[in-house]
Structure 1
């Protein structure tokens, strides 16, 4: 059994979860195989497969943050620490994601590190061009195309300011992360002779797939329990996202292992749908139908001036 802490972490108190261990082997093994034999694949297949594996690895990182698959968080962190995406240090992701699990602050652009909203003051500072891009980024097409670039540039700019200000521990995190990135690129570029531009294509495709998952996960509502969505009937993307598409259940009980989420959801569906105010989508095609060229929400948060 796993207990939930105040920030949504799982306290390991059980034996090793072998499905997740096998999953980690499949993801890392698939990455090694793809980068080794990439030249035998059509370019588009290589990019899609690379994006899938990098996004899948991000889903695995999310799983280990919540205390899986072993009773040792140090081992769990080691499983998720390899920076296949290049841009996101695992310790920063872990810290920010656990803060995100303070559900009373969900969507708040100040308190929730994963919020897609901005304050009205920040909105005014964007300027006309920035506001145009921000509005485009609220459509699904925008989120899949410019969304990864917006996310990466915003994150790296913020981190650069923290590093320059000598935020305690930040320089060490980035130095350690740099070593991991060097190891990944040594394998990819030197050993496998995979062009850096192509690997960056893998990274961008993976970020786009991840942005699909997060696009409609949350929206502001007065009741914080109604700020988290459910995406049903998504078998392929459900596997890619390790069933994090059943997002209300994950937020209510973040200690549940990914492979148990569908069964638990089926048993508790009525209660979960009632608790989130019926914020349910019938697969990602339903989200695309509604929001492909239409904004999911106003980018400014209604509670911040």
Structure 2
């Protein structure tokens, strides 16, 4: 019993409590002269809450998955059911499939055939989404639409666990809507436009440069050496190759691990390093970082067909 208690990560547990309490306190400012302070704080707190959800998905801060889920189950960013985020994100951690538009649920790539079937407007829209500014402005909307469509399809097909995930999410949504509208006395449209969407943009800023298409699996995960405040917002997930190499490592141990093995990580990811998000913005603000269609997908499919014929 003592060994189990020792595994509780009190720092992360404290952050969960503080983030939720600060979100609540910021919301209560809505009916005061400091309403604008609360409205500035809440998107960062909602984005931080998604970082904390990510931490719980990987087994923190307690040994009990059910308790970890309960600790972050209030959906401050509203859109994604915790259990769907959990299941899809763990699929994303099959590194051999990183960026694959079929196998990686967090990929922003499309296969070449699907891109050819798009109309010009859709192709331009997704190309804009592959710029840094575009990802912040339209990325959350595209994510919401795409996620909703695929989840509705899964619900219709009766995929295991999806209905329960959405039912539990519905309970959390009712709680958030009641708190926002009845306790904070904030219109839900204000919360949607001024909290949810900016929070998703903040998350998109982090995820924009996390992955890229590459032959080498290690080169598919990037490193962003950023300001400590942003590193805290993302719980050091900006050092993304470290997280993929050691997904069970708690957020507060990642910087030391990175410093210790920096040379090895840079060799593994072929020096895919950004000096902060300003560096990313400077290079890709209005320039497509990678094409909409997966640059290796056609070749991969052809190689798979050859491999299949050779082993038939």
CA distance in 2, matches of 1:25, 1:147: 29
Equivalent position of 2:24 in the other structure = 32
Structure 1 residue 251 and structure 2 residue 244: aligned?
yes
Q: Select which of 258, 282, 293 maps to 1:265.
A: 258
Question: Which structure has the bigger radius of gyration?
Answer: 2
CA distance in 2, matches of 1:48, 1:54: 11
Structure 1 residue 242 and structure 2 residue 242: aligned?
no
CA distance in 2, matches of 1:230, 1:197: 36
Aligned length: 294
Structure 1 residue 48 and structure 2 residue 49: aligned?
no
Given the two structures, how large is their TM-score scaled by the length of structure 2?
0.90
Contact 1:104–1:224 (CA<8 Å) still a contact in 2? yes
Equivalent position of 2:310 in the other structure = none
Contact 2:26–2:37 (CA<8 Å) still a contact in 1? no
Unmatched 5+ stretches in structure 1: 1-11
Answer 1 or 2: higher relative contact order, Cα 8 Å, separation at least 6.
1
Contact 1:48–1:205 (CA<8 Å) still a contact in 2? no
Structure 1 residue 289 and structure 2 residue 282: aligned?
yes
Given the two structures, how large is their TM-score scaled by the length of structure 1?
0.92
Partner SS for 1:37:
helix
Shift of 1:14: 5.4
> Aligned Cα RMSD in Å?
1.6
Equivalent position of 1:222 in the other structure = 215
Equivalent position of 2:75 in the other structure = 83
Partner SS for 2:107:
coil
Partner SS for 2:270:
coil
1:1-305 equivalences in 2 (<5 Å): 15-40=7-32, 45-201=37-193, 202-305=195-298
Q: 1:223 to 1:53 in 2, by over 3 A?
A: same
CA distance in 1, matches of 2:267, 2:34: 46
CA distance in 2, matches of 1:289, 1:143: 14
1:166-224 Cα shifts (integer Å, max 9, x gaps): 32332222122111100111111112211111110200000000000000000011011
Contact 2:131–2:287 (CA<8 Å) still a contact in 1? yes
Partner SS for 1:293:
coil
Shift of 1:45: 4.1
Shift of 1:102: 0.6
